Chain A
Amino acid sequence: MPSVSFEHIVKRFGAVTVLDGLNLTVEKGDFLVLLGPSGCGKTTLLNLLAGLLDVSSGRIMIGDRDVTELDPKDRGLAMVFQSYALYPTKTVEGNLRFGLSARKLPKAEADARVTWASELLQLTPLMRRKPSELSGGQRQRVAIGRALVKHADVLLFDEPLSNLDAKLRTEMRLEIKKLHDTLSPTVVYVTHDQIEAMTMATKIAIMNGGEIQQFGTPDEVYENPANLFVASFIGSPAMNLTNARFRITDGSPGAMFDNGTKMDLTGYDFVSTPQDGDAIAVGMRPEHFLIDTQGTQQSHSAFDLTVKMVERTGSDALISLEFADDQLFVRAEPDRAAKTRPGETVSVQYPTAKLNLFDAREGRRL
């Protein structure tokens, strides 16, 4: 299972530069998720790797092979498409077999692979059917099977679950994860769904505007977002981001919000310390708030805030609180939220170590 690396990739469509000098390396056996909003270049990057598009400049390596100039079929890849892209006139078995057509395999080997994939994905009873006679989940499994029979070292997924309903999506997510655990191919998976990214990935590359904003494990990306874009993109409900000024009072760092509220930043692990008076953005995850805790905990900031609204989202509830001309969303137990009425005052605390501070102008993490 080889590694995959993109080196100084540039891709232009006419006068539009979609990717400009992108570098990214996936270790072997990694499950890389390319995550980003529509039009961020993630699918372009995947198509470049697959060979369905040509790079304008740069180099793509799979293992120690330079595949930049190779035909798609010679790159040792298999791909699963969003619309499944099954061959409508072929049976399930025909679909699986056609995946092997570029490889001149002996018949016994081809048979063995098709049987293996059909058993792995529980397709055996469906082998004689046409794609039009299958449900969405079954079609998706055939598409995955067609990729698996090739025994490709690198599997590519292009938003494979976005055409499925919510329940099926959860099931298929687990199945893909399980496949990766058993077969451990190198996977490059494109999605705009951050839950898919968080649950399946071993590495996430968050893209925006053709650039990689952050590359790291799901935990790193979630807990230590590299910039404002990542902070606001990852997390649902989203991170609270409030504008403030950086102040140094008696030698200790602090944030002063627009309405004069102060927050002590002692104990925050600064990447780079800003100047006194710099504009910053303070990011707080809704789930890190403590509600109703007696006495101020060590290295926590405490506020008493007015409730604006209470939302029940199912397993959780969100309380929105008035805070510094803005609002803070705080995750709460449904029982606690049920007792809360708009206009009441709630005391919350936030651990300083879990803060995320950003330079408000440049967006980078402080």
Chain B
Amino acid sequence: MTDTNVMYPRKPKRITGRSIAVLVFLSMAAMFFCVPLYVLIVTSFKEMDQIREGAMFSLPTKWTLEAWHFAWFEACSGLNCSGLRAGFWNSVVILVPSLTASIALSMVTGYALALWDVKWAGPFLFVLFLCAFVPFQIIMYPLIRLTVTMGIYGSTTAIAFVHTVLAMPILTLIFRNFYKDIPPELIKAAIMDSGSFWRIFVEIILPMSGNILIVVLILQITSIWNDYLIGVTFGGLGTKPMTVHLANMVTVSTGTVSYNVNMAAALLTAIPPLVIYFVLGKFFVQGIAAGAIKG
């Protein structure tokens, strides 16, 4: 028996100055998010009388859903006083088609660019790459002209259309990079077996895309739902998304500010992406990891 065969237990980790600093920083960062969120939640359940007393950290003396009800059904956005629900449905009507169209189109484009012999694929990818970094504000005015010419300006269709167009470059790059990691022999085998572009896509590639789909779904749902600028630019009366309604509600300049209603409205607007995170979050991490290392 030599010394090298003896296993010494590892020394217990000491709490050092450095780890304390890290913990303090992390706690502060957490507080930075948690404290406003706490205020937001408790305030939304309070009555205005209690809010006027100040003491914004105190719990509601009487828990009430009045503010939530008011925000959903009665709050005024501009002259329209039918609550946030109109905006909610507008957002859904914008989200569903733009989500479906952008993902479907970019998935097929990415698949073609990654696995098939496409002429000019290199230059095309370079242009896509450039497009992904063009700020929306630069092409806003031409896009407005374009949608006016198409006759859809001011409708939810216009907003959905713009979301789809703007998401295409980055989504195509994401899908293309994911598919590029599929072993080339697999696609060679599929080409020899079937040779059909669509059949290979539907039967072989699509079932392998679960992870990246989750990532893209979360990215897209969050960015489309939380968008304000496109909604306010391309939406008309009655077609603006929930975020625009929310902004109009809280920036009202007449009368008293109903903090509880505003906070309830803000929470209502934030719920859908939150739900998506909770439902898909587990897969999200797996999806990001799958992009890096292929199983």
Contacts and interface: CB of A to CB of B under 8 A. Distances in A.
B78 interface: no
A83 B183 contact: yes
Contacts of A74: 195
B80 interface: no
Interface stretch (A84-92, A133-141, A307-315): A84-92
Contacts of A100: 193
B192 A79 contact: yes
Nearest to B203: A98
B34 interface: no
Contacts of A79: 188-189, 192
B191 A52 contact: yes
Contacts of B194: 73, 98, 101-102
Contact of B185 (A77, A78, A85): A85
A99 interface: yes
Contacts of B196: 101-102
B208 A88 contact: yes
Interface in B187-214: 188-196, 199, 203-204, 207-208
A327 B129 CA distance: 61
A140 B193 CA distance: 17
A162 to B, nearest CB: 13
Tell me if A's interface is mostly helix, strand, loop or mixed.
Answer: loop
Interface residues of B, number: 17
B193 A89 contact: no
A351 to B, nearest CB: 47
Contacts of B208: 88-89
A336 to B, nearest CB: 42
B212 to A, nearest CB: 14
Interface string A135-152: 000000000001000100
A237 interface: no
B186 interface: yes
Contact of A72 (B186, B195, B204): B195
A51 to B, nearest CB: 8
A85 B189 contact: yes
Interface in B48-100: none
A77 B192 contact: yes
A77 B190 CA distance: 13
B191 A72 contact: yes
A87 B192 contact: no
A135 B207 CA distance: 22
B183 A85 contact: yes
A50 interface: yes
A275 B177 CA distance: 63
Given A85-B185, A87-B186, A73 B207 contact: no
Given A88-B208, A89-B204, A89-B208, A102 B195 contact: yes
A89 B185 contact: no
The majority secondary structure among interface residues of chain B is helix
A101 B185 contact: no
A73 B192 contact: yes
Nearest to A79: B192
Given A89-B204, A89-B207, A98-B203, A146 B193 contact: yes
Which of B192, B199, B204 has its CB near the most chain A CB atoms (within 10 A)? B192
A82 interface: yes
Interface string B206-229: 011000000000000000000000
Contact of B188 (A85, A87, A90, A102): A85
A87 B204 contact: yes
A71 interface: yes
Contacts of A50: 188, 192
B72 to A, nearest CB: 43
A79 to B, nearest CB: 5
A81 B193 contact: no
Contacts of B192: 50-52, 72-73, 77-79
Contacts of A101: 193-194, 196, 199, 203
A87 B208 CA distance: 9
Interface centre among B190, B193, B195, B204, by most chain A C-beta atoms within 10 angstroms, is B193
Centre residue among B188, B190, B195 by max chain A CB count within 10 A: B188
A49 to B, nearest CB: 11
Contacts of A71: 195
A85 B191 contact: no
A87 B193 CA distance: 11
B195 to A, nearest CB: 3
Nearest to B210: A89
Interface in B151-197: 183, 185-186, 188-196
A328 B196 CA distance: 58
A87 B196 CA distance: 15
Contacts of A51: 192
A243 to B, nearest CB: 44
Interface string A315-347: 000000000000000000000000000000000
B185 to A, nearest CB: 4
A73 B188 contact: no
Contacts of B188: 50, 52, 79, 81, 85
A90 B202 CA distance: 12
Of the listed residues B183, B185, B203, B204, the one surrounded by the most CB atoms of chain A closer than 10 A to its CB is B185
The 5 A-B residue pairs with the shortest CB-CB distance in the complex, in nearest-first order: A73-B195, A89-B207, A85-B185, A85-B189, A81-B185
Interface of A: 50-52, 71-74, 77-79, 81-83, 85, 87-90, 98-102, 146, 150
19 contacts: A52-B188, A52-B191, A52-B192, A72-B192, A72-B195, A73-B191, A79-B189, A81-B188, A83-B183, A83-B185, A85-B185, A87-B203, A89-B204, A89-B207, A89-B208, A90-B203, A90-B207, A98-B203, A101-B199
Given A50-B188, A146-B189, 14 more contacts: A72-B191, A72-B192, A81-B185, A81-B189, A85-B185, A85-B188, A87-B203, A90-B203, A100-B193, A101-B193, A101-B194, A101-B196, A102-B193, A102-B194
